[in-house]
Amino acid sequence: MDVLILILQLLLLGYRVISLFNNYTFHWLVALICESWFTLCWIFAITTQWNPAVIQTYPERLLQRVEELPAIDLFVTTADAVLEPPIMTVNTVLSLLAMDYPSEKLACYVSDDGCSPLTLYALQEASKFAKHWIPFCKNFNVQVRAPFKYFSHDNQNDGYDDHSSTQDFKQQCLRMKDMYDNLSRRIEEACTTSIPSSRLEGEFADFSNTQRDNHPTIIKIIRENKKEKHSEGLPHLIYISREKRPKHPHHYKAGAMNALTKVSGLMTNAPFILNVDCDMFVNNPKIALHAMSVLLDPEKGQKEVAFVQCPQQFYGKLKNDPLGNQMVVLFKYIASGIAGLQGPLYGGTNCFHRRKVIYGLSPHEAEKGNMPEIPEKKLKQEFGASKELVNSAAHVLEGRTDSPNNDINISKSLEAANQVTNCGYEYSTGWGVQIGWKYGSVVEDILTGLSIHKKGWRSEFCIPEPMAFTGVAPVGLPAAMSQQKRWATGMLEIFLNKNYCPLLCTIFGKLHFRQFLAYMWILNWGFQPIFEVSYVCLLTFCIITNTNFLPQGPALLIPITLVVIHMLYTLSEYLATKLSIQEWWNNQRMSRIYIMNARFSGFIAMILKLLRISNTVFDITRKDQNNASSDGENLSDDDNGGTFTFDESSVFVPGTTILLMQLAAMVIKFIGLLESRSGNNNIENNNNGYGIICDMLCSLYLIICFLPFLKGIFKRGKYGIPSSTIFKSATLAFLFVSLCYTNN
């Protein structure tokens, strides 16, 4: 069916071209340009789905094949203690520390870009609870190891093994629940009031006189595992807040990831890295073994695979996905399809990396085995002036598997760690350019993954059962819009990057052609808004000026058939994924809203950046564990009042303007039809009657898509569109309608 849709699109383009030669009109040319881009976008999408691939992993075979499991450094990033509550970060950290993996092989590094003492306090309290929680999970084979989820109502009969009926288990479970409730209460009290006065001095003194974007480096070793090689041992736990100063760029999340990479390289220097966002807890405790099954595969994994990406799944979602941000169908069809090419795109979280790949090693260099000694001068140019960091990097790049310091003492690395997280350390080095997470885009994940694929590396998609990680999707329209705007801006930044434009990576690098098409599919998130908004404006123009928008006569069947088949095609994907028709419609509606609001705003933001009028801003998405259903059941719209809320952000101006334009066009058209009837004029004056109906149906479809905005115009408070936004949109809509009459 996807090929049939492509054929219909090509037929429509052919009709447009022939009509242009016979009777040129400017609006017909605009329609041709827009529809040509939509056809190209469809080619990007369908070519990624032709070779789906699913990796089957068998951790039990890994343990038989590998004598000793490699170490893994765990990275958790948080940036705002208000938008990303510490209790959420604590649950993520606890689920990581309790994974089914040797404790002495794990080290967890938490980056706090908000420099909040609340985050440090929460982690310290969590470390005390972990002494009891980790043995409990491993002794009773608990499957869900994020405490808040484990003790939720939907998990009362899940997550336990055969021990669940024993008296000892029941006593231990009640004890753990009481301890977790006390932990949660202490953290919540600290967040709502203040950290206990007895803790404001000493280790918390470093936070005095600090601001979010103006503070020195703060590194705290919360827990150090000193060779406790038994199941009750706790992994290392380190808190990091890198130095920030107003006049120094900090490169958002990419800068935080590089700070974690440098500090971990000094302290534990594990050959593998797992990075997760603070809201993504471990849902499958064996996920590290699943990932190592791929990365340690002697045939292809060790030679070709740079990273293993796990999909994102969200808990406590709103019923029928009214915000269209669960991305279930996307992961099933698009992501698995890309996995059959050069591998899935890096998603920024839930990903296992090879450290040597992050350090810039190519497959060709890695295939040589033990590399010759790299000149120290070259290493200093890329990794900076820290001798300790240069030595640890050389150890990784030269392929040595033994620890550079068998008796790891992370406390001894504090001085060097403070040096490498200095805000001026990366100047004149390769960080963010040749090595580490790449700078230059607010979507550092896509850019970093692209740079890895450019070198010729592959990636793999790991989908174990149960799902590896579970997290929180943005709740509320403003948060979802902010995220979509950032994505659109970031995609454009990547396309305009002279080093990492996918086309240049294919021509001058080792990015496969179909992988290039896959990257163009996601970068299109930044380009599509201008074409879709132009198409909508063209529809409004044609309705108001009584000119042709769609083909006339029998050719009208082409777009009608195209729309019907495309809707049936997308509906079949949702039904095959066991989603409801309502969920399908919500995603169709929100697709229009996101593209013509958030992503169009992202496009405008990129234009302003190119004109040097403003810079792009990394907006942190609000994540609230309490907004998710604690019992795991889907919430209805009424259960969460923030589903369709609005704020003063300019991101709502384009959508409100488009809605008002469609309403004005419909009113004008109806008035024109009434006048034609009263004057006994032919309704089909210069138009095909069916064409008029189809134009108006298209406009009606847009009005239905933007129905939440229409309701918002008449509401007040957070559920209503602000008056300032309505005024701006009404002014723009009036100017557009006036322009249409001027050119009529």
Token digits of residue 201: 């001095």
CA-nearest of 206, 240, 202 to 418 is: 240
| Whole-Å CA distances, 389 to 109, 264, 393, 413, 502 | 17, 10, 6, 10, 32
Q: Burial of 523 by CB count in 10 Å (0-12 exposed, 13-18 middle, 19+ buried)?
A: buried
Of 80, 445, 619, 695, which residue is the catalytic one? 445
CA-nearest of 445, 443, 455 to 484 is: 443
Q: In degrees rounded to 5, what are phi and psi of residue 418?
A: -65, -35
Partners of 299 in the β-ladder: none
Token digits of residue 400: 């040595």
Written as one letter, the residue type at 114 is: G
734 CB neighbour count, 10 Å cutoff? 14
- Name the DSSP class of 438: P
Cβ atoms of 191 and 85 closer than 8 Å:
yes
Cβ atoms of 384 and 429 closer than 8 Å:
yes
Q: What is the SS3 assignment for 459?
A: strand
CA pair distance 684, 19, nearest whole angstrom: 19
| Whole-Å CA distances, 229 to 102, 105, 233, 286 | 8, 9, 6, 19
CA pair distance 106, 229, nearest whole angstrom: 11
Q: In degrees rounded to 5, what are phi and psi of residue 590?
A: -70, -25
638 CB neighbour count, 10 Å cutoff? 8
- Name the DSSP class of 462: B
CA pair distance 364, 384, nearest whole angstrom: 25
Q: Please report the beta strands in 560-703, taking only residues with DSSP state E, as ranges in sequence order.
A: none
CA pair distance 287, 10, nearest whole angstrom: 45
- What is the torsional sign of CA 164, 165, 169, 174? positive
Of 113, 279, 297, 695, which residue is the catalytic one? 113
CA pair distance 616, 604, nearest whole angstrom: 10
Q: What is the CA radius of gyration of the chain?
A: 28
Phi-psi region of 561 (alpha: psi -120 to 50; beta: other; left: phi over 0): alpha
The shares of helix, strand and coil residues in the chain, as percent rounded to the nearest 5, are 55, 10, 35
Token digits of residue 737: 């309608």
Cβ atoms of 442 and 616 closer than 8 Å:
yes
639 as an active site residue: the answer is no
- 490 sits in which H/E element: helix 477-495
In degrees, rounded to 5, the angle at the alpha carbon of residue 334 between the alpha carbons of residues 351 and 635 is: 80
Looking only at the bridges linking them, the beta strands covering 272-277 and 351-354 are antiparallel
619 as an active site residue: the answer is no
CA pair distance 404, 390, nearest whole angstrom: 12
Token digits of residue 54: 């699913």
In degrees, rounded to 5, the angle at the alpha carbon of residue 215 between the alpha carbons of residues 211 and 221 is: 115
Active-site amino acid positions: 113, 445
